[in-house]
Chains A and B, each alone.
Chain A
């Protein structure tokens, strides 16, 4: 029952969604709207699971002193700080007690987690740390309740307008993510030098097509010719190749989805 009933639900909901696509009646559309709405809400919880995995891995790395364990503190501080900024807004413009509260929160969370994990995870003086964490959490709660210079906003979006939240996004997250992907420019240049060999006809065809497309915006007398050739390559042989791939992917997706609905594919449910 623990496995059969979920598979039955997959079959039931899957079949309903397939049939619904061909039934444009108002009740059918309303049922689909209802189910989509519920799925989006469930999905929000599902996506949050990954956050717990990150916390668990970081704590494990610190407690077991794995290589580069010190940097896991940076991960955890970044995580807690960003969540704190997103749920709070500074009212008075004074930041001293705001940052003091953040520091108290970070230390209390650390002590509480260490206390909860206990000796089994390699933590020494777990009981003392737990009670110290409780004490600091009480101090944090006191500051949160009585300090009027900032406030928690759980149900309204003031946190999204918090300048610290916005700056952490635009001046830390954006440059870091953009730069990590910018490294690919160097890697592709190194790959071009070391790996891109015209060993046979197929590799040569690939190379020639790549060269034509890369030079498509060259100025000068040859530029127009290369540009026109590139446009033809994109709209004729490339189109043919990509169309075959799209059709293949489409058939594969439909086959996999059918296997999931009919219970032939069961790996997504996990073991047990």
Chain B
């Protein structure tokens, strides 16, 4: 790894450890990292919106026109209007003219909601209902082996579970009697679903931590001690230990502060 790349990786490692230091306590290093992230990600988003959005979809289409003619001489001059509608969004910041921003909002809310109605109804509701009403596998009702998901009884559990969970979500009728019993079965089914989600969530969260460990080890620590690398520099190790030292000093100072407070509180109570 070259020196330049190593310095950037070390910065990434320092910021990673700064964020992890929040687990002990909020501290200036964490605050610095947090505020830096907010600023840099906002700046990144502006650039992506400009280069990937406005330049290609708006200015690119008006490129054969001239700015001093307000692009009216362009072959696709009608693209000026979404530009104007977009600029109207910025009137939101004025008390007097904020009503103007309702026009572009109306445009895209209308289109987005209109697009969603038939497609969401078709794909989330209809197709799921069709899939729920698949024929039961009576030929192999008990299945083969332990908990066979292709067995007939599994098909019945899916159907009964879905219907009872839908019944649970129907709050316009009191959950009493047979209806209440079905709702109870529904909440049991939902709890199993939530438990499965929780199991996957634990795996997901741990994966995030594992990735950071892999980054700190493979990208940073190994390159700090990679003596076979032709670009290796003693500065790599110095920087590695300096960053570790910063966090060690912080940890030791916090521990000493904790001991001091503990002694002070024990003297007070005595």
Contact = CB atoms under 8 A, between A and B. Distances in A.
Contacts of A251: 125
Nearest to A16: B114
A10 B110 contact: yes
B158 interface: yes
A15 to B, nearest CB: 7
Interface in A182-239: 182-188, 192, 201-203, 205-214, 216, 225, 228-229, 231-239
Interface in B149-191: 149, 154, 157-162, 165-166, 168-169, 186-191
Given A80-B43, A205-B192, 12 more contacts: A14-B111, A14-B117, A18-B118, A167-B8, A170-B8, A171-B8, A172-B12, A185-B208, A188-B202, A233-B192, A235-B154, A257-B113
A173 B37 contact: yes
Contact of B16 (A12, A38, A47, A175): A175
B72 interface: no
A42 B90 CA distance: 11
B128 A250 contact: yes
A122 interface: no
A130 to B, nearest CB: 20
B210 to A, nearest CB: 8
Given A86-B47, A176-B33, A38 B81 contact: yes
A173 B115 CA distance: 34
Interface stretch (A1-9, A97-105, A110-118): A1-9
Contacts of A71: 31-32, 34-35
Closest 7 CB pairs of A and B: A241-B193, A82-B43, A78-B39, A17-B114, A209-B195, A250-B124, A213-B199
A48 B190 contact: no
Interface of B: 8-9, 11-13, 15-16, 19-20, 22-23, 31-47, 49-51, 53-55, 57-59, 79, 81-83, 85-87, 89-90, 92-93, 98-99, 102-121, 123-125, 128-129, 131-132, 145-149, 154, 157-162, 165-166, 168-169, 186-203, 205-206, 208-209, 211-212, 215
Contacts of B59: 155
A138 interface: no
Nearest to A205: B191
Contact of A41 (B86, B93, B114): B86
Contacts of A3: 99, 102
Which secondary structure characterizes the binding site on chain B? Answer: helix
A63 interface: no
A247 B128 contact: yes
A179 interface: yes
A125 to B, nearest CB: 26
A6 B105 contact: yes
Contact of B106 (A9, A83, A209): A9
Contacts of B37: 78, 172-173, 176-177, 180
A48 B46 contact: yes
B98 to A, nearest CB: 7
Contacts of A260: 109, 113
Interface string A140-168: 00000000000000110101100001011
A68 interface: yes
B127 to A, nearest CB: 10
A203 B109 CA distance: 40
A159 B215 CA distance: 27
Contacts of B98: 270, 272
Contact of B120 (A12, A40, A82, A254): A254
A46 B20 CA distance: 34
B44 A47 contact: no
A179 B147 contact: no
B208 A247 contact: no
Nearest to B158: A240
Given A17-B110, A160-B47, A250-B120, A75 B149 contact: no
A221 B28 CA distance: 50
Interface in A15-30: 15-18, 20-22
A183 B193 contact: no
Interface string A233-266: 1111111111111111111011001101100000
